[in-house]
Amino acid sequence: MAIKKKDDEVEKFISDWYWDEKSHEYARDLCLFLFEFIDDLKRQGLSEKTIRIHIDNCWVIGSFECQYGGRDKFSPEEVFCSEMANYEYVFEIKVSESKYAIKSYRTTWRKIYRYVKKMGLVD
């Protein structure tokens, strides 16, 4: 039952990220990684509000990566190889030009990068 619930959560989260079977697989792999990252944030004891903001940013990051990343297979060390957030320009056009929103997006990206680094996948 727990696996079915997790699958349903993943499918709901990625429903706008893919367009065919290959992109669906990429979106699922990326989402599962982002869910692991979110679980790590929850273990850190962050507030619900802060976690919600990171979840929202993860959705945007995943959406942009699936639409603009051009990769065939998800690899956290390739996608999150730098603290510098990808797709900021797209974020400003499609989501918000607000300095607060952009700063929040960058913060989530940095946290994901540090999570990947903690896993030993990047230097």
**pLDDT category, 5, cuts 50, 70, 90?**
low
pLDDT for residue 3: 63
Give the model confidence (pLDDT) of 37-53 as tens digits. 999 999 999 999 999 99
CA distance 105 to 67: 17
Quickly state the pLDDT bin for 21 (edges 50, 70, 90): very high
Residue 1 has pLDDT above 60, yes or no: no
Domain contains 49: yes
Task: Report the number of distinct structural domains present in the chain.
Answer: 1
Q: What is the pLDDT of residue 2?
A: 63
Sequence-separated (6 or more) residues with CB below 8 Å from residue 111: 37, 41, 54
Helix, coil or strand: residue 45 = coil
Q: 81 in helix, strand or coil?
A: coil
Tell me what pLDDT residue 123 has.
76
Query: Is residue 123 assigned to a domain?
Result: no
Distance from C-alpha of 47 to C-alpha of 45, rounded to nearest angstrom? 6
Domain enclosing residue 23, as ranges: 2-118
**Digit-coded pLDDT (tens) for 77-116:** 999 999 999 999 999 999 999 999 999 999 999 999 999 9
Average pLDDT value over all residues in the chain:
94
